[in-house]
Structure 1
Amino acid sequence: MDIIHKRICDGGDGEYSFNPLITSLTQSSCILFISHVFHLLLKPVGQPGPVAQVFAGVLLGPSVLSRVKKIREFFIQPSTANYYQFFSRISEILFLFLIGLETDKSFSRRNLFVASVLGYSGFVLNSILGAAFSPLFIKLLGISDKKFDFATVIMMVLANSASPIVIRLVADLKLDTSDLGRLAVTSSLVNEMACAVLSSLFFAFTSGKRFFYFLVTCLLTGLLIGLNRYLVRWINKFDRDNKYVNNAYVSFIFVMLLLVSAIIATMGYNSTVSCFLVGLMFPRKGKTWRTLLSKLSYLIHNFLLPIYFGYIGFQFDVNKWKDIPTIISIFVMVLLNFGGKLVSTLAASHYLKIKPSEGVILALILSLKGNFDPRLINVEIGSRLWWNLDVHNVLFSTVVLDTIIAGCIISFTVQCEEKSLSHKQTSLELHDPESELRILCCIYGPRHSSGAIALISALNGSQTEIVTPYLMHLVELPEKRNKTKLMYHELAEGDQYSDEEGYGGDDIVEINDAVDAFIFETKILINIVKVVSSFETLYEDVCSGAEDRRISIIFLPFHKHQRIDRCMEIDKEGIRTTNQRVLRHAPCSVGIFVDRSVTGFQQPHGSNSAQHVAVLFFGGPDDREALAFSKWVSSHPQVNLTLIRFLQVKENDETLMPVSTNSAEYAIDNAYLVEFYNRYIASGKANYTEKHVSNGAETVTVLREIRDMYSLFIVGKGGRRHSSITTLSDWEESPELGPVGDFLASTDFNTNASVLIIQKFQKTTENSFRGDYRM
């Protein structure tokens, strides 16, 4: 017992104190616990996680709980500084690497100019303000030596934006898939990388030796990026048959990253930029990338970041605000940060034609601190003659107050602007093909993956059109088990909820291989999500997933598949129930794909022959939505699209009539057809033909005549008024497909072609999925 007591209480410096390692671990555990409590309390009022975590650190720190002598003696010890510094360095390396892995490179490339203008405008103006007010701070804080260095740090602290806090805050506010949120993240990355690079350059040009070290740093970063490209290719081939990349390979990648970062740190440079670049340039194909994402995401978002943000708050000490000059310095720095960011960002927003309300939100987000600035502030004592505890407290107080104030205001501003920031592209009819299209393809197993990938391939035929595809693997949860939602590869080896225990099994390997092969061939990145739930609540996960990811159309697999003898066989009745519920409650348009995989529609990419696709247009909002979908498909060079319009003629008469008897609906149909004709048919991207029929029997005859001419039929579910030419049978086997879709999907039609039935999103009370479904 005495030995244990000595190990816990002996700090190793000859004094009777708590072991610094025990202190550090206890402090981290307390920060985690308190931050979760704060998050539960503040989440109902819209406060994001980083704010709660900084508050937890403030509560545990010397401003509140550590004012008590016993608590202060336990937590605040000089010997714990090395442990905290080591933890901070490891955390920075890992989450900057993760930020690089998660960065949306496609969006960043498209909006690099806009993000640069926003990021650099705040950087420049706040740097100027920092330089202008540095003499005031020098006088107030009594800086006597190395005043230029002090002014430089003030400029960097005011100019910087903390990208890790921005990323977490944007994700907590569910803006990470919006253009505004992604623009804020990219701007913060541009800003922070600029600060880090300029700081390194300033240090490099102070001497020849330091400049040589700077070149070595660039060389090491480039070598690690190049080595990773060859290493990942080898790992993916060598570990092809496994669900996960072996932990030894993952550990080796981490060791190389930590080793390079340590060498850079010993040369006096910040490894922030290097770690970010290594993650950004990491090959994004194969299971290596997905395994790294899953392992790092869970560790960092649930443990490292809360502790890191909490420790920033822990260093906030209101007890050091002893005199008026200190309070004035803190107050002026906070005002300069917000004022500079607000003015510069609004000016940049005006130049970029961004709405002022969004400009205010961007300015507040870019005012967040807490990553690069602590590295500037937490210098070794005595390394700069002007450095002392009072200066440290002023600068750290500024960082903490900026983050807390900005985080609180942002959350309330986002709540007030909820309607304007909500997802508006919930259908395709009014969607500009040149703007980003976000789609969600749902599958239940490898049988459905080929059809989903074929649809993704068909939509990605143009270089100018931007499509962001998500593949959601839906896994039925066995009864008497709790529901869980997991990112792909998130379950660790040996976990009690592993794939071997009914969570997808070996299907994951086949889906993984199919997606990897497609990505390797086309360079089109597919984001994979895994959802585990019972069929009773599976539709909620689909609908909420589509809403969170701002999806414009959901694709669902039909509950039947075609056998060799061409008969349609039911997979699971639960799939049909889920489809019906998604159709009713979806927050966007929905398509049900009847995949006749062997003889039907095939992946256009890599195909030697063109895929012939027919769009059947009878009229109504669903048919217009189907026609809107074909805009993207018509741009694919390996797709030959034909628009077939059905017009009704009176029996014993030659008068042509539209299907819909509603004159307003007909006018909308006609206007949309004219626009489509002028843009796609007149330019040769699509063909056009008309079919004149007088009743359903003639429609069936026409469909039978063309059934072998096309590999895919696209049609709207319905949404039109009753018409005799769309009444194709006495009863409907699958009403969720609509009358025409039901006939095309039936065995009676006897076709080799696949069928896509589309329902346009209509905003009604039934679109809310937070309730029971009634058939």
Structure 2
Amino acid sequence: MGDFLPPACFNMFVSDEHRMWQTSNILETELPMLAFQIFFTVLVGRLLFNAFRPLHQPRIISFVFVGFLLTPPLLGNIPEVFGFIYPVNGILNVEVASHFGLIYYAFLNGLEMNLDTILKSKKEATSIAAMGIIFPILTGPGLYALHRKFYINNTFKLEQVSSHAYLIWTLVLTVTGFPNLVEILSELKLHYTSLGKVALTAGMISDTYNWILFTLLVPFSIDSSNAIYSVLCTVLFLTVCIFLVRPLLKKIIERKTENDEWDEYQLLFVVMGAFACSYVTDILGTHAIVGAFVYGLILPHGKFADLVMSVSDDFGGGFLAPLYFSGNGMRLIIKSVFSHANWPLTLLVLILLCVTKILGTLFATSLSGKSARDGFAIGLLLNTKGALALIMLSIVWDKMIFFAPTYSVLTAAVLLMTIVVSPMINFMFKPRKRFEQNKLRTIQKLRANAELRILACVHNNHHATSMINILELFNATRLSPIHVFGLYLVEITQRAAALVVAHMEPSTQLGVQSNLTQSQVESENIAFTFKALGNNGDGNGNDAFRVETTSVVSSYETIHQDIYISARERGTSLILLPFHQQLSSDGNLLETTNVVYRDINKNVMQDAPCSVGIFIDRGLVTFSQTCLHILMIFVGGPDDREALAIAWKMAGHPRVQLSMVRLCLLDEAAAAAEEASHHSEEAEGILSNAMDNDKQKELDDEYISKFRYTAVNNEDYISYSEADIRAGEDIPRVLKALDQRGCDLYVVGQGNCRNSILFSNLLEWCDCLELGVIGDILASNIFGTNSSILVVQQYGFGGMKLERKQDHMANNSRFGSLIVKAE
């Protein structure tokens, strides 16, 4: 094998020179071949993506490896296989299709970037991004010189020394792939941390700088004689696009978006603008993707961008662009890296290529006062490469600026930089069990004058309104304040980077919602609803409540992990979840809104880092309308003690009346409880091994005695009573009798840790296991209560054990997740 691969030639036969298509019918020859190549690339890419998933690799890596599989070390040793998948006469079609996909990929990258966020970014992120570019620029030429000095091979020759090679080599090292950075952060669930937010902002800024450098310098690496004219004409074109075309398009698009006038044909004409701009920049001497990127950048963001990506992302980014990136893998001749005597020194150069950006980031973060560990982590994250680096490598290969050894060394370094990021960051910041037995995050263990922190999870503004009603009951005072974190749960349905940018932006005025995506509008409404929490005339004032609203964007399959992270980082004692059913339009029955919400609740309850409450809202009224009556039903166990602690705290509100009823197990029910005590080891958890049935009963009696002595004997608005349960059929009868007395809110324990065969048998008949026996009976439409219900599970006893398979989850796990704060 020589300096570079020889050109491939094949014969073309003209069947009819008078037709537009002078060769044979392309629908019978070229099109099936192209469809098979796309199918092969996407299928193998998906398989490799799933194989790499434990390592949290971005999708682009799997597509590069599709091409690498067809190189000589692997399937490339079998010419028949490569010839069958990529016959010589089909290469041109693949190149054309892949470049169409690349142009559209660049257009989407521009569409998901936001100049406002970049311009308003903090100096810390800007300095980190700048130093991450300056250091590679300073060290890159020296590393290229070392590579040339160390590489001695008679089979594979190096390219001639040129300024073009030095320039591209250095530019590749400066690149940060923002979409891949978002994908990695969302997979590792680090967006909630300050480190993740800094890396995210710095990555966006760095990616923007990279595009500017690409536009200004790549023409000099292609044709240095006319490069200055290409750059000046391109800058003039970009100026016209930004200052003349953008205002015109913005006015038209916003008007049509506000009136919902878009259809598929009109969107097609908008998308064709990306190819028109690509054609212009290609004519001017810069790369075609520059025009597509700028066109996406000048279009209005928000609702319109969300619409465009939702209808076309899968085709452009999911089918055509992978063809282009697989081509990078096909050109990777790994044999050229190791087939010479000095290969260890070449390997050393490859490793040094991976640390230049990290060193620059470490320098910048040290000046801002961050620890070396955080600086190293940010450097690793910003070292993530993406499409722009692969595009530069394709350019130098096509222009023969790099020969096989240099191309392979730099491509291998780009892949290594990206591949090692996720495993190393995961190792450095892997969540660990940080909660000990004496630090249980429960309301029962919370000091009387301590701040109560509650994470209120919502899927829409209706849930937020319901949460406000239940949160008002927690009796916030200046001496015992409450810090509420409203967490808006958003499902990922499109490119992760676009959602990151959308929820990174500061909240806009509610009156200007035509440009916002549906999730942004909902986020605005939810934030507005939570802000009103401290102003409802309860007499406590704003100092009693502190409210923050946050968005978490994730696939529903893993969103419970983001809820865990949010609860841990904020030190909450209670996670409030909305029930998956809500009142029907006539206000009589509970109807399922989204069954996936139920799966999320189940997942949260299995391993939550604090206590959990599920709120079933049946129209709980506010204090401005009436005083509220709470009925707390106590059977026994840690969940019931936590539920009593919550009801007790609510009873401190001057407009709340609390009735506590203890269900006493007698006769058959008591015998069942004694028999179940032999199986107490089934309740796995932090304290379960030390908690047998007698100990649980002792704790129950102790806490109830404290409650009766402290509260019942001193307050007229708190009452205590008991009801006997002798058999399973007594439970619905007693509950029905209690419901006839009337109440506004039931507070009950989930009861997962009750050592009772009586309740275990009843649990088999429950429709909603997450509510427990008592909660399921009260929530059923057959029971017929009009009262709202709060079902509580205490932290520290292993969570809820589920035997039913979670089969309702949406199968949308393309990306992981991300959490960003909304001001």
- The question of a shared fold, defined as TM-score above 0.5 by the shorter chain, is answered with yes
The corresponding residue for 1:536 is: none
Report whether the alignment pairs 1:310 with 2:330. Answer: no
**Quick check: 1:24–1:83 contact (8 Å CA) kept in 2?**
yes
Report whether the alignment pairs 1:261 with 2:278. Answer: yes
3-state SS, counterpart of residue 420 of structure 2: helix
**Distance in 1, Cα, partners of 2:167 & 2:377:** 28
**Distance in 2, Cα, partners of 1:313 & 1:696:** 73
Residues 198 and 556 of structure 1, relative CA distance in 2, 3 Å threshold: same
3-state SS, counterpart of residue 469 of structure 1: strand
- Pick from 489, 506, 514: which aligns with 1:470? 489
**Distance in 1, Cα, partners of 2:310 & 2:73:** 37
Report whether the alignment pairs 1:373 with 2:395. Answer: no
TM-score calculated relative to the size of structure 1: 0.60
The corresponding residue for 2:561 is: 547
Residues 230 and 77 of structure 1, relative CA distance in 2, 3 Å threshold: same
Residues 20 and 408 of structure 1, relative CA distance in 2, 3 Å threshold: same
Residues 162 and 718 of structure 1, relative CA distance in 2, 3 Å threshold: closer
- Pick from 53, 70, 79: which aligns with 1:60? 70
3-state SS, counterpart of residue 368 of structure 1: coil
The corresponding residue for 1:497 is: none
Report whether the alignment pairs 1:215 with 2:236. Answer: yes
**Distance in 1, Cα, partners of 2:167 & 2:645:** 59
The corresponding residue for 1:95 is: 105
The corresponding residue for 2:814 is: none
Residues 627 and 185 of structure 1, relative CA distance in 2, 3 Å threshold: farther
**Quick check: 2:101–2:321 contact (8 Å CA) kept in 1?**
yes
Deviation at 1:129, TM superposition (A): 0.7
The corresponding residue for 1:405 is: 416
The corresponding residue for 1:487 is: 493
Deviation at 1:766, TM superposition (A): 3.1
Residues 376 and 750 of structure 1, relative CA distance in 2, 3 Å threshold: closer
The corresponding residue for 2:166 is: 151
Report whether the alignment pairs 1:420 with 2:398. Answer: no
Aligned length: 628
Could you tell me which amino acid in structure 2 is paired with residue 420 of structure 1? P
Could you tell me which amino acid in structure 1 is paired with residue 424 of structure 2? T
Report whether the alignment pairs 1:123 with 2:140. Answer: no
Could you tell me which amino acid in structure 2 is paired with residue 561 of structure 1? L
**Distance in 2, Cα, partners of 1:6 & 1:691:** 99
Deviation at 1:60, TM superposition (A): 1.0
Could you tell me which amino acid in structure 2 is paired with residue 251 of structure 1? L
Deviation at 1:441, TM superposition (A): 2.8
Deviation at 1:314, TM superposition (A): 1.3
Deviation at 1:316, TM superposition (A): 0.7
Residues 357 and 95 of structure 1, relative CA distance in 2, 3 Å threshold: farther
Aligned 1:317-716 pairs, distance under 5 A? 317-321=333-337, 324=340, 331=347, 333-352=349-368, 356-357=372-373, 359-379=375-395, 388=400, 391-414=402-425, 416-417=427-428, 419-420=430-431, 440-442=457-459, 451-452=462-463, 454=465, 469-470=488-489, 487=493, 544-547=558-561, 552=567, 553=575, 555-557=577-579, 559=581, 561=583, 568-571=588-591, 581=602, 584-585=605-606, 587=608, 590-595=612-617, 600=621, 693-696=717-720
Deviation at 1:259, TM superposition (A): 1.9
**Quick check: 1:31–1:60 contact (8 Å CA) kept in 2?**
no
Structure whose CA Rg is larger: 2
**Distance in 1, Cα, partners of 2:180 & 2:594:** 42
Residues 113 and 562 of structure 1, relative CA distance in 2, 3 Å threshold: same
**Distance in 1, Cα, partners of 2:259 & 2:391:** 40
Deviation by residue 1:77-96 (Cα, 9 ceiling, x = unmatched): 99877655544543344334
Which runs of 5 or more residues in structure 2 are unaligned?
Answer: 1-10, 152-156, 221-226, 472-482, 497-515, 529-548, 568-574, 633-639, 661-698, 722-738, 755-766, 807-823
Deviation at 1:466, TM superposition (A): 8.2
**Quick check: 2:135–2:356 contact (8 Å CA) kept in 1?**
yes
> Quick check: 257-266 or 174-183, which moved more?
174-183
**Distance in 2, Cα, partners of 1:358 & 1:450:** 37
Residues 88 and 21 of structure 1, relative CA distance in 2, 3 Å threshold: same
Residues 314 and 263 of structure 1, relative CA distance in 2, 3 Å threshold: same
Residues 209 and 369 of structure 1, relative CA distance in 2, 3 Å threshold: closer
The corresponding residue for 1:200 is: 215
Deviation at 1:58, TM superposition (A): 0.9
Deviation at 1:401, TM superposition (A): 1.3
Report whether the alignment pairs 1:762 with 2:768. Answer: no
Residues 83 and 331 of structure 1, relative CA distance in 2, 3 Å threshold: farther
Which runs of 5 or more residues in structure 1 are unaligned?
Answer: 443-448, 473-485, 491-511, 531-540, 602-608, 631-640, 650-658, 671-689, 698-703, 723-732
Deviation at 1:615, TM superposition (A): 12
Residues 191 and 648 of structure 1, relative CA distance in 2, 3 Å threshold: same
Residues 123 and 574 of structure 1, relative CA distance in 2, 3 Å threshold: closer
Deviation by residue 1:584-633 (Cα, 9 ceiling, x = unmatched): 43747655445466x956xxxxxxx99999999999756888999x9xxx
3-state SS, counterpart of residue 695 of structure 1: strand
**Quick check: 1:342–1:363 contact (8 Å CA) kept in 2?**
yes
**Distance in 1, Cα, partners of 2:602 & 2:102:** 44
**Quick check: 1:558–1:592 contact (8 Å CA) kept in 2?**
no
Residues 317 and 5 of structure 1, relative CA distance in 2, 3 Å threshold: same
Deviation at 1:221, TM superposition (A): 4.0
3-state SS, counterpart of residue 354 of structure 2: helix
Aligned 1:50-89 pairs, distance under 5 A? 50-70=60-80, 86-89=96-99
**Quick check: 1:165–1:369 contact (8 Å CA) kept in 2?**
yes
Could you tell me which amino acid in structure 2 is paired with residue 765 of structure 1? G
Deviation by residue 1:516-575 (Cα, 9 ceiling, x = unmatched): 875787898998999xxxxxxxxxx967433257565563247463786x7x43436997
Residues 253 and 520 of structure 1, relative CA distance in 2, 3 Å threshold: farther
The corresponding residue for 2:254 is: 233
**Distance in 2, Cα, partners of 1:398 & 1:177:** 36
Residues 213 and 278 of structure 1, relative CA distance in 2, 3 Å threshold: closer
Aligned 1:104-123 pairs, distance under 5 A? 112-123=122-133
The corresponding residue for 1:479 is: none
Residues 615 and 558 of structure 1, relative CA distance in 2, 3 Å threshold: farther
**Distance in 1, Cα, partners of 2:130 & 2:420:** 23
Could you tell me which amino acid in structure 1 is paired with residue 412 of structure 2? L
**Quick check: 1:469–1:526 contact (8 Å CA) kept in 2?**
yes
**Quick check: 1:91–1:304 contact (8 Å CA) kept in 2?**
yes
**Quick check: 1:367–1:402 contact (8 Å CA) kept in 2?**
no
Deviation by residue 1:654-689 (Cα, 9 ceiling, x = unmatched): xxxxx999799999xx9xxxxxxxxxxxxxxxxxxx
Deviation at 1:194, TM superposition (A): 1.1
The corresponding residue for 1:187 is: 202
Deviation at 1:290, TM superposition (A): 3.8
**Quick check: 1:617–1:644 contact (8 Å CA) kept in 2?**
no
Deviation at 1:340, TM superposition (A): 1.5
Identity of aligned residues (%): 14
**Distance in 1, Cα, partners of 2:311 & 2:77:** 38
**Higher relative contact order at CA 8 Å, sep ≥6: structure 1 or structure 2?**
2
Could you tell me which amino acid in structure 1 is paired with residue 231 of structure 2? R
3-state SS, counterpart of residue 60 of structure 1: coil
